[in-house]
A and B are shown apart, each in its own frame.
Chain A
Amino acid sequence: MRSFLVRRLTAIPLTLLGVSVLVFLATTVLPGDVGRTILGREASDASVAALDHQLGLDQPVTVRYLRWLGRFLTGDWGDSYTLHQPVTGLVATRLENSATLAVYTFVLLLPVALTLGLAAGVRHDTLLDRLVSGLSLAFGATPEFVTGVVLLVVFAVDLKWFPASALPAPGDGPLLVLWHLTLPAVSLVVLCTGYVARHVRASTVAVVEGPYVRAARLRGTSPAKVVLRHVLRNATVPATSALGVQLQFLLGGLVVVELLFNYPGVGALLLQAAIDKDLPTLQATAMILGALYMAVVLVADLAYRLLDPRVRVAAA
């Protein structure tokens, strides 16, 4: 266990280093010119060259990379080329926004997925089960921009229950923030629920068919109690690792949803930085997302190793 942890933990910085080299190389071969992007097409070539020099973009690639790396490691992440803001603050704000959306999605996702999964699992091979399985399969396969567009038109334009923009006005309270975030969160929930529900269902079936519940039934305990006490506790364990996987999924889904709902999150930032060749922002965003991604994978793996029900059943 410990060696597993040590190996994985040392792999993280090495992987990030590799990613940073790749990102750097990518920006050097991307066409376009940072100075030109900042100044616009009507600025003179001399102005553009002067700005490129000022930003150090006329230096050789290796010099630029090492300089960036040195500063990055010492905490100086530089300023965004295009937005003239310190990258640290920029990424932090955007990350906070995305995290709010992701957490809210999770909060909505969990009860729905657990209820559906448990219901389908307890009554497995009934019509209800087939319906839940079929629908979750269908929704999970439908791209979120399709659901998102439909949600927007029905709930923002026609019914006006929710705002069209995910962004609250400055100074709005937490409830208003959540109100604004509901439609984007729901389109992610629709996408992700199926996967988690099917995991919960599978584990529930295993538990319901397993010795635990049969013994309980023999003792004459009521089915509802059985579900609550045993099934819920045992079946949610593997479901957490499924949730971990979903968190990675969420990080990816954010780009599309952030764009669709005009939400200034980290996904939209990464995309714009790539288009603008805004290297400081691009690198910082890639590093943070990469680290986060690997941390989630690690935690999910750990959870799986620690909480594998087979291990626990065997131990019991």
Chain B
Amino acid sequence: MVSPSRQGWPKPGAGPELSRPELSRRGLLTGVAGAGLLAVLAACNAAGSAPATTASSGAPGRRGGVLRAGSPPPPTAVDPVTMYDGSAIAIVQLVAEYLIWLDRDFKLVPKLAESWSSDQGGKRWTFKLRPGVTFSDGTLVDAAAVKASFDRLLDPKSKSAALSAFESILSAGGVSTDGTATVTFALDRPFSDFPYLVSAGNYNAVILKADYGGDFTKNAIGTGPFILKSYDSATGASLTRNEKYWDGGKPYLDGVEIKFYADDQADLLALQSGDIDTQILSRAALVEPLGASGVVTVDTVKGTGVTVLSLRVDQAPFDKKEVRQAVAYGLARPDILQAIGTGIGDLGNDHLLAPLFPAAPAGIPQRAQDKQKVAQLLQAAGVPQLSFTLTFDPPSKDYAVTIQNQLEQVGITVHLDQRSSTDFYGGDQAKDTPWLFTPANLVGWAGRPVPSQFITPMVKSKAVWNGSKYASPALDAAADAYDRASTDADRKAQAETIATILHEDVPIVIAYWSGAVRAYNGKKFDGIQAHPSSFVDFSTVSQK
């Protein structure tokens, strides 16, 4: 007879590392997925003026139909000011818009801003608003609303992640209006990539009404293609077409249903069984095999998302450069890209200039697994038997297991220390939070379209998220010069210096740059695309 004593059993389950998607997918979108390809910058650089075209692409789609999209439930309230998870961002992006959209190629696409220009050597930026756009309640979008939207983010009390993106570049009080259709930003220092910081790349920077009070899910007013009809934190959101949308004829859909799936498998099975038509946050490893088998259509895009292995340079054993290099030479990068990145992306070379960045240097040889070299380096460092503890949270689990296995093959022992995301990112960032203070750890970063947004917070001396505690005056100088650079040639030269220093010193190991995927039912819908930051633009999606 089965004993009743087990009554408590299924209950005890549950753990920090449970495959909770909002935890495991949180890493995808933490970070300001800012800025864009420098090629675009050339167009709107320095005193240049931006192209004033709209986002319209291709032939108009068929009208009608409701798109059902699966997504993990947002871990916190859906509020544009404080949101940081993919589900909340997607819902907000359907309802509200940015001055500039960041498309899948990291190109800047004018939305509520029609054009922009800078003067004072990139220290002052002026944006001209698109005329005649109204919020869904009929109010006109004017300079005052735009100023209020940025003042809200810049308020030190706002608790917005956007504050970090603007850090040292734009402060409270820096935004002013000139009439009803022009907004001016006075920066703290020259920053030639500034348009990226007011684009979707800084995903909190949506334009809301001046009197927005924080109750987005009850009273969602934006200029976007859809209107939020209902929202339930457990089940999902229901949106209908914004009949007064400014971009003629769009959207083609009658509405969008977001359904929350707390479980990756449920989300995937729902897509396969036709319960949903697409996913907001697809996981490459899960949907790739399905795409190959023709069950669903999978769109892929390269990106600059990255999981960084930080090594504390101020502590043994990683205070010796050779030991850090040994770890870097211990990894079989193509295997990692294949197994962990599902082959979508690029190999990493231990510096932050992703191959996708136009300024990326070509002359640095690609590091590869080299068992002899590892032994030599460790011998030289006087640490023949290297063993260390690697700390990480659930989204990096597979990567950690693979690192452990590969380093074991070159004679380095790795102990895995998995924490819950709450634990890993908890604590004081100035003295004890595990993700910045453990000797070796894995941190996932969302793709950012300009390298400065990786370099400045991660590897500059005393930078806010400098987990390796790396400090190099040469690197700091090159990074500053990069931000000030006004020509492509200068920018490339500085980038080469930065990359060479990082590649040699190895405060961080970067084995691969990940791309992004989005799976959908290609038999029913057209126009659904992957986005490097998993952003959504369903305004051009149509039924077949």
Contact = CB atoms under 8 A, between A and B. Distances in A.
Interface in B249-275: 257, 259-263, 265-267, 269-270, 272-275
Contacts of A253: 10
Contacts, number: 196
Interface residues of A, number: 73
A255 B238 contact: no
Contacts of B161: 39-40, 42-43
B75 to A, nearest CB: 6
Contacts of B230: 170
A248 B9 CA distance: 10
Contact of A252 (B11, B259, B267, B270): B11
A40 B16 CA distance: 16
B157 A45 contact: no
Contact of B18 (A38, A46, A84, A275): A275
Nearest to B4: A245
A36 B420 CA distance: 13
B72 to A, nearest CB: 10
Contacts of A136: 2
A271 to B, nearest CB: 4
Interface in A199-226: 199, 202
Nearest to B79: A84
Contacts of A251: 7, 11
Given A40-B161, A275-B422, A167 B31 contact: no
A195 to B, nearest CB: 5
B234 interface: yes
Nearest to A262: B266
Nearest to B423: A31
Contacts of B23: 275
A43 B23 CA distance: 17
A78 interface: no
A91 B75 CA distance: 16
A144 B10 contact: yes
A271 B18 contact: yes
B32 interface: yes
A43 B163 contact: yes
A195 B2 contact: yes
B261 to A, nearest CB: 5
A31 B434 CA distance: 11
24 contacts: A31-B420, A31-B423, A36-B426, A39-B159, A39-B161, A40-B84, A41-B30, A42-B164, A44-B429, A45-B430, A47-B158, A50-B157, A50-B159, A82-B75, A83-B233, A163-B273, A165-B269, A165-B270, A167-B259, A195-B4, A249-B7, A259-B262, A275-B20, A276-B75
Given A252-B9, A254-B10, A264-B73, 16 more contacts: A30-B422, A31-B420, A40-B26, A40-B30, A41-B30, A47-B159, A47-B160, A90-B233, A144-B10, A163-B275, A170-B238, A252-B10, A252-B12, A255-B10, A257-B10, A274-B14
